[in-house]
Amino acid sequence: MKIKIYHILFIALFAISIFSCKKDNYKPPTLTLSGKVAYKGEALQFQYNQFGFELYQYGFGRVGAIGQIFAPDGTFSALLFAGDYKLTIPNATVPFKWNQTVPGIPDSIAINLTASKTMDIEVIPFYMIRTPQITASAGKVNATFKAEKIITDATGKGIEKVALFINKTQFVSSGNNESVQTAELDGAAITDPNNITLSLSVPALVPTQTYIFARVGIKIKDLGGSWIYSPVQKLTF
């Protein structure tokens, strides 16, 4: 009897091992979906790990979202299997408008992926930062820029505040606790959105380095911690 039991257990374990090998031998995804979230072809600039989109693929049993995050420069890249996908940006406090089928219901983009694909996800931002000029001189960082209001109808938003950020690394934003210094100006104090000026002193850097990274940002009213930024710049002293 013991021999029969051992024999049955051996067969069961062998079958499980074969099944596991087959599962492990599935080919990994090989196609890349990449691009940027943009307004009229211009990439939007975000905080690291802040906003993203969702992909849904049908035909593989239970449907679940494949979450992807936009990089700080607005780009994205996802490694996927061939197939039909639906791309959507879920309702969130993002600094732009995404198409909706009806009020409050986010729209989607159908994607048929048969080969690697590059595409832009076009949105309408509430604001764009125009002509940012950021310089470093004599221990100070100075910035000037224009805050262009893109959505001007009743659904538009005001500016809560603007800011100049500097950091020792390229992860420069309001959500980075390692930011070296920040200069802020309340939206109500902006007298000319076409000529916003901010400046701050560079503190002692430990360990010492001869460069910093900087960018300016606009925090939009009624959108939580939602900011839109200029591209990150490296400034050498």
Mean pLDDT to the nearest integer, 13-29: 56
- CATH pick for 127-236 out of 3.40.50.2000, 2.60.40.2060, 1.25.10.10, 3.40.50.970: 2.60.40.2060
In this predicted structure, what is the pLDDT of residue 8? 45
- 1 by Cβ neighbours in 10 Å (0-12 / 13-18 / 19+) ranks as exposed
Distance CA 8, CA 1 (A): 11
**pLDDT level of residue 178 (50, 70, 90 thresholds):** low
The one-letter amino acid at 76: F
pLDDT tens string 78-136? 999 999 999 998 867 889 998 878 777 888 999 999 999 999 999 999 999 999 999 99
Give the largest CA-CA distance in the chain: 92
Sign of the dihedral through C-alpha 120, 123, 129, 131: positive
In this predicted structure, what is the pLDDT of residue 107? 87
Mean pLDDT to the nearest integer, 208-226: 92
Mean pLDDT to the nearest integer, 22-51: 86
CATH topology of domain 31-125: Immunoglobulin-like (2.60.40)
Q: Which of 39-43, 68-72, 204-208 has the highest mean pLDDT?
A: 39-43
Structure tokens at 111: 């994607």
In this predicted structure, what is the pLDDT of residue 173? 86
Q: What residue spans define the domains of the chain?
A: 31-125, 127-236
Distance CA 150, CA 158 (A): 11
Distance CA 21, CA 145 (A): 58
Helix (H, G, I), strand (E, B) or coil at 210: coil
Burial 75-85 (b: 16+ CB within 10 A, else e): ebebebeeeeb
The model's pTM is 0.84
104: left (phi over 0), alpha (psi -120 to 50) or beta: left
**Same fold? 31-125, 127-236:** yes
- 63 by Cβ neighbours in 10 Å (0-12 / 13-18 / 19+) ranks as exposed
Over the chain, what is the mean pLDDT?
Answer: 86
pLDDT tens string 185-204? 999 999 999 999 999 998 88
